[in-house]
Structure 1
Amino acid sequence: MSFKVTFIGAGSIGFTRGLLRDLLAVPEFRGIEVAFTDINAHNLDMVTQLCQRDIDANGLDIKIQATLDRREALKRARYVFCVVRIGGLEAFQHDVDIPLKYGVDQCVGDTLCAGGIMYGQRGIPEMLNICKDIREVAEPDALLLNYANPMAMLTWACNKYGGVRTIGLCHGVQGGHRQIAKAFGLEKKDVDIICAGINHQTWYIQLKHNGEDLTGKLLEAFERHPEFSKTEKVRIDMLRRFGYYSTESNGHLSEYVPWYRKRPDEIMDWIDLGTWINGETGGYLRVCTEGRNWFETDFPNWMKEDPVKYTPENRGEEHGSYIVEGLETGRVYRGHFNVVNRGVISNLPDDAIIEAPGYVDRNGISMPHVGDLPLGCAAVCSASISVQRLAVEAAVTGDDKLLRQAFMMDPLVGAVCNPKEIWQMVDEMLVAEAKWLPQYGPAIEEADKRLASGNLLPTREGYRGAARLKTKSVEEMMENREAAKRNAGESDKAAERPAAAH
C-alpha cells in the first residue's frame, strides 16, 4: 500500500515518534509516504533525526519529508495527524498564571476553564488555516486526525467551519478502562465497557465481566482500593453522587466542575501530590516544561540508544494508527472517537462534539446509537458544551463578548469569580496572548486601554496556587534519568502514576 501521512506539529516528540511507530507496525504500511512539518526548525530536525533512525533500523525504505512549508507537507496527503500546541509553553504559562491571580486554580488548563478557553482561541484560527491547506492541496476527502487540545473545541470548529472531515482522538478512555479493571483485580481485556459523553467528561455507563454488570459495584471497589481511594478523591466523589465513573484524571476533572477547586483551603482535601495528574496546581505545564528541557539537553543520548522496533507488541493504544489500518485494510477496529453528535447521544445537542464508541473498517467510521446518557451525567456535559459552543463562535468571529460569556458560563471560573473580575481577567489574557490572537485586534486595543487606566480590581499578584510545585532543573532531573526520559517521550504523561503522597 502507498499513501501519504502528514504530521503537523511534528516537533512534538511525545506524540510524533509513538504515532509513527504504531503506523509502521502495520505490515501493509511499510511503503507509505511520511511528511513532518512544524514551525520550529530545531524541534523538527531533532524529531526527524530520531524517527528516521528508527525507520532505517527497521529496514524500511521510507525517507521522511521534513519541511517548514506546511502546504508542501500536505500535498497529496490522505491522512493528517495534528499534534500542534499553538503558542507553545509561553502561552500555556499565561493560561495558568493569569487566572491564578483571580483565584482560578487549574491543574491542566487545556480543555475547559480559563486556560482551555484561551487555548481554543489560539488554536481555532490556526486549525481553520490548516483545514484550508488540506482542502486545497491534500487528497480529496482527506481525514484530519486531531490530537490537539482543547479537543472538542478544535474538532467542532474544523467540522463546522473548516470543511474537512475531522475526528478527535484521545487516550483518556483507555486509561480509565485500565484503572477500573485494576480496581476489580482484573485485566483490562476482560472488562467490557460502554463509555460515552464528551472528551475528558466521558462516562463509563456500562461495565461487564463475563456478562455480569459491574457498574453498581464500582464505588465500593474504588473506596476500598489502597491507592485509588487516596489519589482519585474527586472522581470517587463524582461516582458517589452521579453513579458513574468519569474518564478523566482527578486533577483534570477537578477543574471542569464548580465544586472541588473553588476554595483554596479545601483543594488539598481533594487532590494528591504523588503525581501531577492527581491535581497539582499547574502540574501539566510543569511536566511539559521539564520534558521539553530534558529532550533539548539529552537529545544526543537519545540518538545513541536502541532504536524503536516496529513490532505488534511495541504498538501503543492511541487510536490513530488503528483507524488508518481499518480504513485501508478492512480490519475492524473498535475505539472511542470524538465526532459531531448527530443523534448518537440523544440527550446532548446534535451539533456538539461527543466521545462515544465507534467502529472502523473499509466502509468508514461508524458510530452506533448510544441513546440517552444518565440525566445527571448529561447535565454535567451540557454545562461544558455551552462553554465550548460560546468559545468556538468567539474564536471564529473574534467577538470578545462571546469570549467573556464563555468565561462566565465556565463552571469553575463562575464559582470563583464575579463578573467584573472575569471581564478584567479576560482583558489581561487577551493582551498577554495578543500575538496568537489575530481575530481580536480591536478588542485587544480596548482591553489594553482599560488595563493602562490604572482603575483596576485588586488581584493576588505572584500567587502560586494551593498546590504548586517547583519546575525541576535539568540537573535535578538527572537524578532520575529514566523518569525524565519517560516524561519527555510519552504522549500520555500520566500513564505511570507513582504512589500517593501521604
Structure 2
Amino acid sequence: PHLWSICEDMLEVAPEAVMLQYVNPMAINTWAIAEKYPTIKQVGLCHSVQGTAHELAHDLGIPYEEIRYRSAGINHMAFYLKFEHRQPDGSYRDLYPDLVRAYREGRAPKPTWNPRCPNKVRYEMLTRLGYFVTESSEHFAEYTPYFIKEGREDLIEKFGIPLDEYPKRCVEQIERWKTTSEEYRKANRIEVKQSKEYASEIVNSVWTGEPGVIYGNVRNNGVITSLPFNAAVEVPCLVDASGIQPTYIGDLPPQLTALIRTNINVQELTVAALMTENREHLYHAAMMDPHTAAELDLDQIWRLVDDLLAAHGDWIPEWARPSKASRAA
C-alpha cells in the first residue's frame, strides 16, 4: 500500500518523472508497479553487477578498467554471460577458465572488505553452472536449496556462510550513520565522492542527454526471450534524454533459465496476491520458494507465513493480515 501511494502521488504531480527504485524486494516491486501502473517510468537499481565485477577483477589481479562484461537475469540472480579481459592488441580474452582455475587452486576468492563473507558459494556455483552469479554468496545461498540445511553444519563450515550476517550488518550500518552524521556536523568542508551506484548517472543522462549504460531492473517485454514476458529482469540499459532503454539479450543458457524460474515462481505469485488482494497466493508463493520447500512441510510453511504477516503488523494491508483464528491454529 505504501508503494501504491507513492505511485499515485507520481501520477498526480510528476507523471513524466522516472522512479529510481532501490527498495527490496526489488523484482517484486518492479513487476508489481509495471502491472498496476504501466504508465510510470521506473527502473529498479542494485549494485550487485558492478560490485561483483570489481571483486572478480580483484581476485584475478586485473585492473577493473581492463574488464568487459555482459550480465543478464533477474535481480539477485543475474549471471555474467561474458566476462573478459582486454589484451594489448585490443582483443578480449575469456576469463572464466582463469576464475575456475583460481578457485580450484585455492587462489580465489581473495579476502574482501568483509571478513565474515568468504564468497565461496558463488565460485562453487560457477563450477556447476559455468557462469558466475552477481549476487553475494551469503545472499545467493538463501535463494537456493543447496547450501543452508538443517543439521548440515558441515556445509555452513565448508562454504563459510555467515547466517547472522544481515542482522550484524544492519547494526553496524546504523552505528556508521550516527558516526557519519556527527562528523558532518563538525566538518568545515564535506567532500562528496562518486559512488558505484547508478542513480546520479541516470539523472545526468536523462537531464543532459549524455548517453550512459547501467544495469537496471525493468519489465522484460521480450528482452530475455527464455523468461516470462511480464517478469522483472535485470539487463544492460542505455540511458539518455529518451529515458531508460533495455538491451535485447535473447535466450539465456538453459541451466540459468531453469534456476531463475524457481525464483520467478515466487515473485509471480506474490505479484498475483498484490494485484488481486488474494492472500492465499502469499502461501502459494512461500510454497514455491526453493529453500523454504527444501526445509519445511506445508503446515510449517503456512504457520511461518502467518507469523511473518503478524510480526509486520500495520505494515501489512488489511486484506493480507492473518485472522486470529488462523494464528491460533
Q: Calculate the TM-score normalised by the size of structure 1.
A: 0.60
State the Cα distance separating 1:296 from its structure 2 match.
Answer: 4.1
Decide which of 129, 138, 142 is 2:17's aligned counterpart.
142
State the Cα distance separating 1:136 from its structure 2 match.
Answer: 0.6
Name the residue aligned to 2:95: 214
Name the residue aligned to 1:178: 54
1:474-493 matches, within 5 Å, as none
Q: Distance in 2 between matches of 1:244 and 1:260?
A: 18
Name the residue aligned to 2:237: 358
Do the aligned residues in 2 keep the contact of 1:168 with 1:337 (CA within 8 Å)? yes
Secondary structure, counterpart of 2:143 in structure 1: coil
| Aligned AA (1:216) | P
Do the aligned residues in 1 keep the contact of 2:147 with 2:156 (CA within 8 Å)? no
Do the aligned residues in 1 keep the contact of 2:21 with 2:45 (CA within 8 Å)? yes
Name the residue aligned to 1:268: 156
4+ aligned runs moved over 4 Å, structure 1: none
State the Cα distance separating 1:344 from its structure 2 match.
Answer: 1.0
Name the residue aligned to 1:422: 301
Q: Distance in 2 between matches of 1:236 and 1:292?
A: 31
| Aligned AA (2:197) | E
Quickly say closer, same or farther: Cα 1:320–1:229, change in 2 above 3 A. closer
Quickly say closer, same or farther: Cα 1:226–1:220, change in 2 above 3 A. closer
State the Cα distance separating 1:270 from its structure 2 match.
Answer: 4.2
1:309 aligns with 2:185: no
State the Cα distance separating 1:227 from its structure 2 match.
Answer: 5.3
State the Cα distance separating 1:267 from its structure 2 match.
Answer: 4.1
Name the residue aligned to 2:109: 228
Q: Distance in 2 between matches of 1:396 and 1:297?
A: 42
Q: Distance in 1 between matches of 2:180 and 2:210?
A: 39
Secondary structure, counterpart of 2:227 in structure 1: coil
Deviations 1:439-469 (A, max 9, x none): 336x522xx223335xxxxxxxxxxxxxxxx
Quickly say closer, same or farther: Cα 1:229–1:299, change in 2 above 3 A. closer
Name the residue aligned to 2:145: 258
Deviations 1:190-227 (A, max 9, x none): 01000111111110111121212223332113333545
Q: Distance in 1 between matches of 2:327 and 2:93?
A: 60
Do the aligned residues in 2 keep the contact of 1:251 with 1:271 (CA within 8 Å)? no
For structure 2, the 5+ residue unaligned runs are 87-91, 112-117
Q: Distance in 2 between matches of 1:440 and 1:297?
A: 41
Quickly say closer, same or farther: Cα 1:417–1:351, change in 2 above 3 A. same
| Aligned AA (2:299) | K
Secondary structure, counterpart of 2:135 in structure 1: coil
Deviations 1:379-399 (A, max 9, x none): 111110110011122134332
Identical-residue share of aligned pairs (%) = 34
Quickly say closer, same or farther: Cα 1:297–1:217, change in 2 above 3 A. closer
Secondary structure, counterpart of 1:204 in structure 2: strand
State the Cα distance separating 1:293 from its structure 2 match.
Answer: 4.4
State the Cα distance separating 1:297 from its structure 2 match.
Answer: 6.9
For structure 1, the 5+ residue unaligned runs are 1-124, 273-278, 454-502
Do the aligned residues in 2 keep the contact of 1:327 with 1:363 (CA within 8 Å)? yes
1:280 aligns with 2:173: no
| Superposition CA RMSD, Å | 2.0
Q: Distance in 2 between matches of 1:305 and 1:397?
A: 51
1:399 aligns with 2:275: no
Q: Distance in 2 between matches of 1:126 and 1:270?
A: 41
Q: Calculate the TM-score normalised by the size of structure 2.
A: 0.90
1:43-442 matches, within 5 Å, as 125-138=1-14, 140-163=15-38, 164-210=40-86, 211-226=92-107, 228=109, 231-264=118-151, 265-272=153-160, 279-296=161-178, 299-305=181-187, 307-310=189-192, 314-440=193-319
Q: Distance in 2 between matches of 1:226 and 1:349?
A: 38
Q: Distance in 2 between matches of 1:416 and 1:287?
A: 25
State the Cα distance separating 1:187 from its structure 2 match.
Answer: 1.0
Name the residue aligned to 2:115: none
Deviations 1:62-111 (A, max 9, x none): xxxxxxxxxxxxxxxxxxxxxxxxxxxxxxxxxxxxxxxxxxxxxxxxxx
User: Which segment drifts farther, 358-367 or 229-238?
Assistant: 229-238
State the Cα distance separating 1:331 from its structure 2 match.
Answer: 1.5
Aligned length: 316
Q: Distance in 2 between matches of 1:296 and 1:180?
A: 32
